[in-house]
Amino acid sequence: MTATDGVRCALMRGGTSKGAVFLARDLPSDPAERDELLLRIMGSPDLRQIDGLGGAHPLTSKVAVVSESSESGVDVDYLFLQVVVDRPVVTDSQTCGNMLAAVGPFAVERGLVPAGPDHTDVRVRLVNTGSAAVLRVHTPGGRVSYRGDTAITGVPGTAAPVVIVAEPSGAPLLPTGRSRDEFAGYSVTCVDNGMPSVLVRAADLGLTGAESPAELEADESLRHRVRAIRAAGAEALGIDPDPDATTVPKIVLVAPPEQGGAITTRSFIPERVHQAIGVLGAASVAAAVRLPDSVAAQVAEVPPAGEPVRIEHPTGFLDVGVAPGPDAHHPVGATSVIRTARMIFDGTVHPGPVRTRQHSGRTWPAPTEVPA
């Protein structure tokens, strides 16, 4: 493929994230070739991603790869890839529940799933984790509609709802087998209800939990402590701690609610701070709120059984329904959230040229001859 070859691509917003969505057949089958192409398409590595589709932030430098599924009872497979902004890294170490909201409409738009007369249920296998979800997409008259009255905080305006019901992943809800651990001198709860996460009380780090993402990112002492907690969490969970290799576990600061919800959160992804919170990260926090001995339950206003858990984040909140599990060993069942999505464009993207000149971890252009 040359720099002038085009690739069929949709740019979509899913929840509070934005990324490029592809059919798997439109990308190279070899993962290394695919990742090299995606770096050129998204414009990485470059802090501005000025030469690609990326939006210069982890939340807007995402890729979803969709294909028809060969698994019984599943419509489509969804592979999530995080394209790192400032390093030549593409990782499949986690999935993304926000971009998942875009997968359902995309699958119907591209003809992978026939549209129903009013709504369409799209059964999705999340390739990164092996878990499953059902997405209900608004399809009045047999066509996807993005217009509606549903508002989600962190996104301006309203749109049609996408209802996501995620089944338990099968992974242990408490990966260490305990509701409390101590990492780097801090009491934490490791929880995985779709996203491996380490929860720590903001107060234990000398914070209120209401600080802005910019304030948290500017606090170098805090970032050093968060790195230490993440390294200890990665070791305990058997995860490579290198942020170039994986973006999990997520470190989530938890604090009492500020706006009438259940709990306040600030989520590191892993160095930047989320402007909202990931869907599956919120699902993991909500599950922890329902566990009496967790650090989340210690600071939360726990809602009555059957009511959603409102997770407060820097730009608003996310309501998470957490169904009870069948027994004490499986305390959490299906998780449900409402998101919205939008097709921004569906067309052809032209990848940039291969970048080969490297110096000190940065990409530098070849010298340009200046006319005499």
Q: Where are the domains of the chain?
A: 7-168+341-349, 181-330
pLDDT of residue 365: 52
N residues, the chain: 372
Question: Do residues 313 and 254 touch, judged by C-beta distance below 8 A?
Answer: no
CA distance 232 to 159: 41
Residue linked to tokens 């097709």: 343
**Nearest to 63, CA basis, from 96, 87, 86:** 96
Residue 16: partners with Cβ closer than 8 Å, 6 or more residues away = 59, 98, 152, 154, 155, 275, 276, 315
Which residues is 336 bridged to in the sheet? 165, 321
The type of residue at 182 is E
CATH fold, domain 181-330, is Diaminopimelate Epimerase; Chain A, domain 1 (3.10.310)
pLDDT of residue 266: 98
Do the domains 7-168+341-349 and 181-330 sit in the same CATH topology, yes or no?
A: yes
Q: What number of other Cβ atoms are within 10 A of residue 273's Cβ?
A: 23
Residues of the chain with pLDDT under 50: 1-3, 357-361, 363-364, 366-368, 371-372
CA distance 40 to 81: 14
pLDDT of residue 356: 55
pLDDT of residue 4: 55
SS3 102: helix
CATH fold, domain 7-168+341-349, is Diaminopimelate Epimerase; Chain A, domain 1 (3.10.310)
Which residues is 339 bridged to in the sheet? 162
**Nearest to 269, CA basis, from 255, 253, 283:** 253
Predicted TM-score (pTM) of this structure? 0.86
pLDDT of residue 327: 80
The type of residue at 306 is G
- CA trace torsion 86, 92, 93, 99 (10° rounding): 90
pLDDT of residue 240: 81
